Structure 1
């Protein structure tokens, strides 16, 4: 049997164990976002392509459990406090965030720029830690924010943990959105950029995602050497000399990434010795 047939068989086997009601409930929660904080049953039905009666039962169940709440004086629903509890419990369970926070704070203090940490989920990155700049206007980036990986400095670092065939499969049939003229718009272009990033060991992004905003990112590794997260600093170009991005700023970001990795047990010398002995 071919590998493609194996994958199809495995997918079909997994499908047998999916609980449709649970899947629909989780999809309903995903309909809410910072731009859509309140939604009516009609809105949810259109979004999910489900009958109003089904959406009503899902909403009542989720409301009873605290994941949804009725908006006072209206017919809309909003996310309930139980969602926040789950999110904070998830982040609190990640030693990564606790380890990283003091280093991100020190990085912010040393550069004057906002410092962040993200992980990758599919074709997106998710911000799991943020230390805001004290000198610049607050940005719209918060913990839990998602951006497209191909367009961001931390996303490119995290894509660099994949091999080229994995990246091709990840973006198969997907159009890469260009946010500026510096954003990779095709998979071959992305592969070329990611390869340069791997060889360099860090990413400098000059306005690739948002015009006027520059950033520098570096990988965070665990004890096995695997890239488990990325950190970066980002700043409007008017606040930070662009000629320092490849110099002192890059050095600071790499130093912070090495310190966080060391706390996670990463020892480059030990890995080299193991590789030499294998």
Structure 2
């Protein structure tokens, strides 16, 4: 089983002497902050991470001393600092595929005049790791680090279409298949049918299944072992495109980009 899937499904919970629970709690505290929890009290941190208040106090104190958290002088609530981005930036700057993908994504945006993105799999999600934004209107802002579910996105389906069918089905079945819009496909067999179509033509599509007004066409990027390592996609807003037009005019350039990235990925894999 692929390592990224292993992190998304239940595993053996037997304890290991090498496992550092304090580090786990510290990372949990950092991950607990989000758009819906921009600031938190100690009690909030304890509740969000399911740890005791005394443990939360130790974690927060340490992270504050290290510069990853700061406390507002008046509200006494904690929030993240820019230092937390250092870890993510180090990942991006050390990632060979992102480095070699840059000129190809730039060219794809130039040719299509639309926003293009590179995403990687993490568990049951795809994570944005590179993005070239069109000068034209884009209905949804997806900054680097944004996560989208595999089952209902073109990038996710492109990635899944390049996996063995039983492995792709396991990921879909493990997903929390929420209907984000009235067009979201949540039935496992229906999604598997979409993967077979994507496999046959080399690219997957998403027509307003995650966000209204948003369509995307995506193709997988393969590594040296023939397994997917990423997906590249083009954003085709419904205000400018029909799906038929997007497939006819954007898919050829997308597939050319995906092939070039696959060649590059195999050289750095």
TM-score range, shorter chain: 0.7 to 0.9
Shift of 1:138: 6.8
Q: Where do 1:181-260 residues align within 5 Å? A: 181-260=182-261
Quote the residue 1:264 is aligned against: 265
Deviation per CA, 1:128-163: give whole Å up to 9, x if none. Answer: 011111111473200000111111100111122332
Distance 1:149 1:72, change over 3 A: farther
Query: Shift of residue 49 of structure 1?
Result: 2.2
CA distance in 2, matches of 1:28, 1:87: 16
- Aligned length, in residue pairs: 257
Structure 1 Cα separation of the partners of residues 71 and 232 of structure 2: 38
Deviation sequence 1:11-54 (CA, Å, 0-9, x none): 25564532221111111111112343222212111112222211
- Once the two structures are TM-superposed, the CA of residue 75 in structure 1 deviates from its matched residue by 1.4
Q: What is the CA distance between 1:125 and its match in structure 2?
A: 0.8
Q: Is the 8 A contact 1:116 1:127 kept in 2?
A: yes
Once the two structures are superposed, the pairs formed by residues 3-14 of structure 1 within 5 Å of their partners are: 11-13=12-14
- Greater C-alpha Rg: 1
Q: What is the RMSD computed on CA atoms of the aligned residues?
A: 2.1
* Residues in 2 aligned to 1:93 and 1:138: alpha-carbon distance in whole angstroms: 31
**1:174 and 1:117, CA in 2 relative to 1: closer, same or farther beyond 3 A?**
closer
Secondary structure of the 2:220 match is strand
Give the equivalent residue in structure 1 for 2:180: 179
1:165 matched to 2:195? The reply is: no
User: Is contact 2:71–2:78 with CA below 8 Å preserved after alignment?
Assistant: yes
Structure 1, unmatched stretches of 5+, are 1-9, 267-278
| Counterpart Cα distance in 2 of 1:43 and 1:181 | 34
Q: 1:59 matched to which residue of 2?
A: 60
Equivalent residue, structure 2, for 1:116:
117
Q: Which range moves more in the overlay, 165-174 or 128-137?
A: 165-174
Task: Find the residue that maps to 2:74 and give its secondary structure.
Answer: coil
Task: Return 111-120 or 64-73, whichever deviates more.
Answer: 64-73
Contact persistence 1:125–1:146 (CA under 8 A): yes
Distance 2:250 2:204 in 1: 11
- Counterparts of 1:101 and 1:138, CA distance in 2: 23
Structure 1, residues 106-129: CA drift from partner, whole Å, max 9, x if none? 111211211111001111111001
* Cα distance in 1, alignment partners of residues 174 and 93 from structure 2: 36
- Structure with more relative contact order (C-alpha pairs < 8 Å, separation 6 or more): 2
2-side partners of 1:66 and 1:79: how far apart? 9
- Name the residue aligned to 1:17: 18
Does structure 2 retain, via aligned residues, the 8 Å contact 1:154–1:231? yes
- Which of structure 1's runs of 4+ aligned residues deviate more than 6 A? none
- Does structure 2 retain, via aligned residues, the 8 Å contact 1:113–1:136? no
After alignment, is 79-88 or 30-39 more displaced?
Answer: 30-39
Segment of structure 1 superposing worse, 132-141 or 41-50: 132-141
- Quick check: 1:123–1:170 contact (8 Å CA) kept in 2? yes
- Could you state the TM-score of these two structures normalised by the residue count of structure 2? 0.87
TM-score by structure 1 length?
A: 0.85
Structure 2 portions without partners, runs of 5+: 1-10
